[in-house]
Chain A
């Protein structure tokens, strides 16, 4: 009997206490590495704060300056927005049909396709950029070779023309994430009852009709989820732009065409020592992401009401 009471009170022995102990690393880690720096970052954003420390409380001046007189900030928002649409959004137009094809019960070599579609997703951005920078080479790259020699078009200055720079980054994003989104959609498609398609087939519905009438409506929650991820991720592109366009020294190339908002805040924080301003950029970026998600949700709801 005394042994039992000992067990009840001993650390990690008690069934009541144990779950709190087990989850405590997360709580502690969130407080230290999550909440505290977030609070710190809010504070910083209201100060003129350089690498030497805080200089002056400036209230909303960092924010106001960024939104009104900063020569770069609004353009970085535009760059991030463009990349979100053409880099992260566009890929779903490829991924969905590919998933429907791949989910066809009669397709052979499914494992091979899934593996090939998965590999870009697990490859580091640096590795991808190093390969694509060769493909994008103006005079000797494969892309311009195909454009000029096969299609008889003009070569594109992939890394020197502002529009082409955004296109290059978008191409890399599409290349990396189309396959991954395809696989998520395939997993979603597998949860759809096959008998629905069999019934539709008996009724004489074509494959395209089946896709529009059965697949898309049932896949809506997953499409909403993947689009949410694309909005969050697409607006925060940094690695691709940073490595492809020569880091902090070139700041996104000609006319800063590849300078995304995340790139700008990293440069403020870690190259120019403007920590307060950088923090304000981070919060504005966060707010924009939240607004975009609210907008996305509103559109989603309206869609639901329309189809209901």
Chain B
């Protein structure tokens, strides 16, 4: 295939020259990409290295670089020192509830904005997008007072309810449903006598799967990693989630960091597995969403 492009020797020279040049710059290009990949990956490797060291032998000079054999011992210590199993279940419970609830309400809202014509739709849409820019910190203090008044303090509700029908999720689903749900299908479903809610449940949801997957993963990640929410609303050791539990442990540490590092591996691994399994779809979906926005 290459040979067919070479018409005369002049062109051959030119090709070889550009090949050589691009060969040199290509190595530089790969090297840069690999160096950054290493910088981004190393801390993940390192946390497992640390979690496998003897707790009292965490600090050495030079620092550790290879695995040792104390991982299970550290896990045991973690579960003895703090109610980590409870914290883990709290994190899973809150993230799962938030994920499914958000999936439902955002698809519903997205369906309204993507597939109906109604008065005020444009205003609602523009207004909704502008609310995305409102910082959390603007109303966190009065929001706390409200939650206390609602008797929602020390429950999962402040961490779940406000995000169920959130602007970003509805925006994402609106974008997705506009293309994923054909108008003809809606028309024929109406002729067949399906109610609008029936259409949402039986037609829209099955067609929304790919978009929903992205929304659900993003919601789960956001909830799983949330620090401020549980820090403010679930400060008790038994009731709180992994990020706060690990922060508390870190702040009250005396010497032995084995349990802490082991806990950190358990905090990181579940997300890592999901993201590695679906990385292509998640990255494509998320970056496309940002560019359109």
Binding site for B on A (CB under 8 A): 7, 10, 12-16, 18-20, 22-23, 25-30, 33-34, 36-38, 40-41, 44, 94, 97-98, 101-102, 104, 106-107, 111-120, 122-135, 137, 139-142, 145, 149, 175, 178-179, 183-184, 186-188, 191, 207, 222, 225-226, 229, 232, 236, 238-239, 242-243, 246-247, 249, 262, 265-266, 269-270, 275, 278-279, 282-283, 285-286, 289
Contacts and interface: CB of A to CB of B under 8 A. Distances in A.
A255 B283 CA distance: 40
B213 interface: no
B61 A118 contact: no
Nearest to B116: A19
Contact of B227 (A98, A126, A187, A286): A126
A191 B291 contact: yes
Given A19-B116, A187-B287, A278 B141 contact: yes
Nearest to A185: B287
A37 B33 contact: no
A132 B40 contact: no
Contact of A101 (B33, B193, B221, B224): B33
Given A104-B29, A266-B140, A130 B228 contact: no
B195 A13 contact: yes
A282 B37 contact: no
Nearest to A285: B137
Interface in B225-244: 225, 227-228, 232, 242-243
Interface string B86-102: 00000000000000000
B139 A40 contact: yes
Contacts of A134: 46, 50, 58, 63, 257
A254 to B, nearest CB: 17
A34 B247 contact: no
A282 B224 contact: no
Interface in B96-110: 105, 108-109
Interface string B39-78: 1110110110010000000111111000000000000000
B133 A282 contact: no
B228 A238 contact: yes
Contacts of B161: 29, 33
Contacts of A128: 43
Contacts of A175: 39-40, 43
Nearest to B288: A187
B290 interface: yes
B227 A107 contact: no
A140 B250 contact: no
Contacts of B260: 130
A282 B43 contact: no
B267 A188 contact: no
B143 A33 contact: yes
Given A26-B109, A120-B40, A131-B46, A41 B33 contact: no
A75 B200 CA distance: 52
Contacts of B109: 22-23, 25-26
A36 B145 CA distance: 12
B255 interface: no
Contact of B142 (A22, A37, A106, A145): A37
Given A26-B165, A116-B41, A34 B131 contact: yes
A126 B293 contact: no
Contacts of B176: none
Contacts of A123: 44, 225, 268, 271
A228 to B, nearest CB: 9
B270 to A, nearest CB: 11
B36 interface: yes
Contacts of A279: 141-142
**9 closest Cβ pairs, A-B complex:** A124-B225, A187-B287, A18-B196, A40-B142, A37-B139, A22-B112, A19-B116, A25-B165, A140-B59
A283 B261 CA distance: 38
Interface string B143-181: 111100000000000000110111100100000000000
Given A113-B33, A243-B250, A262 B287 contact: no
Given A122-B275, A270-B144, 9 more contacts: A15-B116, A29-B166, A124-B224, A126-B246, A134-B58, A142-B63, A175-B40, A187-B288, A278-B141
B264 A130 contact: yes
B118 A19 contact: yes
B44 A119 contact: yes
B138 A286 contact: yes
12 contacts: A16-B118, A22-B112, A34-B139, A113-B37, A122-B275, A123-B225, A123-B271, A127-B267, A140-B61, A270-B232, A275-B145, A285-B138
Contacts of A179: 36, 40
Given A102-B33, A141-B63, A179-B40, A41 B139 contact: yes
B46 A135 contact: yes
A119 B40 CA distance: 8
A131 B227 contact: no
B131 A286 contact: no
Contacts of B251: 246-247, 249
